[in-house]
Structure 1
Amino acid sequence: MVISESGLPPRLGSLTFHGPLSAARATRMIGRLAAEAPADVLDIGCGWGEMLLRVLDGAPGAQGIGIDINAEDLARGRALAEERGLADRVRFVEESALGTDRGPVDAVLCLGSSQALCDPGQPHDPAAALRELRRLVRPGGRVVLGEGFWERTPTDEELAGMWPGAHRGDHLSLGALVDLAIEAGLRPAWIETASAEEWEDFESAYRYDTEVWLAAYPDHPLAAETRERADRQRSAWLNGYRRVLGLAYLTLVAVA
């Protein structure tokens, strides 16, 4: 088991993508995007940029920029770019995406991070995020959006089991989300949603290293805090949003 300097397992070390996304689905999404031969790709809230790096690998004429506020994730992205021979074609920048002037570009990725485009002092506004995404892409360009939606209306009990303060207004239905994209000037060229298997793989991998570490080091000074956090996260999924919260992957085309 790999242990960090803090004595804890590496953060999110068993995740490939930071979301319920299989390699097979990612390959299909990237193929559709690469077929348009984008010259420049912007990744909003990129994390370690796995999707961005795979797009650049599939579109050899493209340059990429990933922006995020997590320095640890960005460092992981730079290391991956070096390993794959892509360091000369991508930049990972630590900055806020709010009001960014890094567009317009041919393709924008925004996978589970549309909140980065919204005022942090206000409730999440998917309509505002979609307008920003339209601003950041050239006419005819592509936006690949990963966004949560309610697969069905959650019950009061399910809401109580989710994240603190969860309420029905946190997400829209899939139909309402797509309607907002159209209103923002983006046509839905491809609509797909994460499968139950993708969710289970993501949720399990999210905590895998931590659970193995907790089993090996139950009396570690940081074990109680780490165990409480892992148990809370798992409970929120199993007793709250499992098969209630969906994740839509929308490939959107900017209207001329």
Structure 2
Amino acid sequence: MDRQTISRLAHAHHPIAAPVADDSVARLLARATSRSEAGRALDLGCGEGGWLLRLLAARPRWQAVGVDLDAEALTRARETAQALGVERRIGLHHLDAREFTATEPFGLVLNVGATHAFGGLLPTLAAAREHLAPGGLVLVGEGFWEREPARTVLDGLGAARDDYADLATTTDRVLADGWTPVYGYVSSPQEWDDYELSWTGSLAEWALNHPDHPDAAAAREAADRHRAEWLHGYRGTLGFVTYLLRLG
């Protein structure tokens, strides 16, 4: 079972692909769009469009563009956009986010939980800068170390110690790159637990509901492995911060 399919099934009941609860998403989006009743948003790695669709539902004069490599996720985003009545205000592109080009800049650029698409936080911010209108905002979510990770944690995540830093160092790096955090949010332990229990539970439930599917065993194995890596590894060690940034 490929990674995209696993992710899609695992996020069936938590379409925001990050440990951020719905009320936190709403608060971040409200802050990101508070300066203008109308605008254009771009999500570089939109998945099923969770952030953009919530934005469009709350802001009837905004338009949005989403880019992702998962064709099935984009299909679901289109279906949800139609159900919400916002399909005319969103454009979805099946494309590597690194290859996306636009004729006009955007007032808001998002990448929450998908900085791996660009090779990390700072490369993601460099990509966002290329699409950002003067005075625009970037909403970016990234992991950080709540405490020093043990070797077992790194092995379980398939990560290196330098893949993340602590929150202070992560923020210092953002500042040194020319960005100013004008708002931000650190996900709570409950949000992490809800996210991981939903992720593993949705995937395991799919396997139980489809016992004859050729991928059922692989889905269950992925859910069990992920649950163990979380509970016996990075729970309480890996944090998540979502910054709202401006240049300057």
TM-score (ref. length: structure 1)? 0.86
The answer on whether the counterparts of 1:154 and 1:244 sit within 8 Å (CA) in structure 2 is: yes
**Other-structure match for 2:204:** 211
**Other-structure match for 1:29:** 28
Aligned AA (1:39): G
Greater shift in the superposed pair: 126-135 or 187-196: 126-135
Greater shift in the superposed pair: 176-185 or 191-200: 176-185
Percent identical: 33
Cα distance in 2 for partners of 1:217, 1:111 equals 31
1:241 shift after superposition: 1.2
Give the match's secondary structure for 1:21.
coil
Aligned CA RMSD, in angstroms, stands at 2.2
1:39 shift after superposition: 1.5
**Other-structure match for 1:153:** 148
**Other-structure match for 1:181:** 174
The answer on whether the counterparts of 2:45 and 2:66 sit within 8 Å (CA) in structure 1 is: yes
Cα distance in 2 for partners of 1:59, 1:41 equals 11
Greater shift in the superposed pair: 211-220 or 178-187: 211-220
Distance 1:173 1:222, change over 3 A: same
Aligned AA (1:31): A
Structure 2: stretches of 5+ with no match in the other structure = 1-7
1:174 shift after superposition: 1.5
The answer on whether the counterparts of 1:34 and 1:58 sit within 8 Å (CA) in structure 2 is: no
The answer on whether the counterparts of 2:52 and 2:66 sit within 8 Å (CA) in structure 1 is: yes
Cα distance in 2 for partners of 1:216, 1:90 equals 33
**Other-structure match for 2:236:** 243
1:69 aligns with 2:69: yes
TM-score (ref. length: structure 2)? 0.88
Cα distance in 1 for partners of 2:89, 2:59 equals 11
Structure 1: stretches of 5+ with no match in the other structure = 1-8, 119-123
Superposed, 1:1-256 pairs within 5 Å as 10=9, 12-37=11-36, 38-102=38-102, 104-116=105-117, 118=118, 124-160=119-155, 162-164=156-158, 166-215=159-208, 222-255=215-248
1:223 shift after superposition: 3.8
Give the match's secondary structure for 1:98.
helix
Cα distance in 1 for partners of 2:154, 2:133 equals 39
Aligned residue pairs total 240
Greater shift in the superposed pair: 104-113 or 53-62: 53-62
Distance 1:216 1:32, change over 3 A: closer
The answer on whether the counterparts of 1:130 and 1:180 sit within 8 Å (CA) in structure 2 is: no
Distance 1:214 1:178, change over 3 A: same
Cα distance in 2 for partners of 1:109, 1:229 equals 28
Cα distance in 1 for partners of 2:35, 2:175 equals 21
Cα deviation, 1:77-97, whole Å, max 9, x if unaligned, reads 000100001000001110011
Cα deviation, 1:179-231, whole Å, max 9, x if unaligned, reads 22223322101122111111111111112233234456667654432222211
1:139 shift after superposition: 2.3
Cα distance in 1 for partners of 2:137, 2:149 equals 32
